[in-house]
Amino acid sequence: MCGRFVSTTTPQDLVSLLGELRWDPAETFAPSWNVAPTDPVPAVLERVDRDTGELLRPLRWGLVPSWAKDPSGGARLINARSETVDTKPAFRKAFTTRRCVIPADGYFEWREVPAAADRKKYKQPYFLSTGGLMLMAGLYEFWRDPTRPEDDPLAWLATATVITTDATDSAGRVHDRMPLTIAPDDLATWLSPAHTDPAELHHLLHSPADDTLRVRAVPTTVNSVRNNGPHLLDTAPDPLGLAD
């Protein structure tokens, strides 16, 4: 799965990498080296108003289907399996009409280190990256809070999920799932709601870096969502020998 990731690319840098993007200057996109479920994440999607083009906006990580009674289950839907994304009720409508990409520098996975005579067992974090920007394939939804009036800015909740697949090569050494990505050349097609054929959409999904990800052990301080900062990506000793 993809349960934490790093997102530090600025809107200005995204423009230089992806072309023209629009965003609300009032919305902040602070860098985060420890993005966790229910955090706001930057997402690129197609505008649905009169203005055409691609929009950068924050979405809460953890998809809440439009038909959900309340948003409490969103934290469990941070990932959507590619094998069932076009058939599972929570995701199939969004897969057809509400797709996005979530820019990331890389993501974290954990492996348990067995107990030894001088220590208890613990979870060792690893950072997996391509060495560049990853455009993680995602879906988004809007959920209406029925307890709030329509003109209340908090009446609508916009949420997102990351599409995953079986991990291979270097990623598979650490975890059995990995996020899928969209190539920059395929971005417009992926975002456009005019494209609805599941086979065509699945064809746009790619494993990052052609199944070859850089893997390195990082400090266990990343295990706590309260910790943040570039120091979380420092190289740490690898007790399991999984790093490149």
pLDDT digits (tens, 9 = 90+) for 73-105: 777 899 999 999 999 999 999 999 999 999 999
Q: What is the pLDDT of residue 51?
A: 59
Extents of the domains making up the chain: 4-233
Mind listing the pLDDT tens digit for each residue in 182-209? 999 999 999 999 999 999 999 999 999 8
- One-letter identity of residue 234: D
Is 2 one of the annotated active-site residues of the chain?
yes
Annotated catalytic residue within 46, 54, 109, 141: 109
Q: What is the pLDDT of residue 86?
A: 96
Residue 170 has pLDDT above 80, yes or no: no
Q: What is the pLDDT of residue 152?
A: 85
H-helix or E-strand spanning residue 199: helix 198-203
Residue 49 has pLDDT above 80, yes or no: no
- One-letter identity of residue 215: V
Annotated catalytic residue within 2, 46, 100, 141: 2
- The answer to whether 74 and 160 have CB atoms below 8 angstroms apart is no
pTM, rounded to two decimals: 0.94
Residue 48 has pLDDT above 80, yes or no: no
The CATH homologous superfamily of the domain defined by 4-233: SOS response associated peptidase-like (3.90.1680.10)
Is 109 one of the annotated active-site residues of the chain?
yes
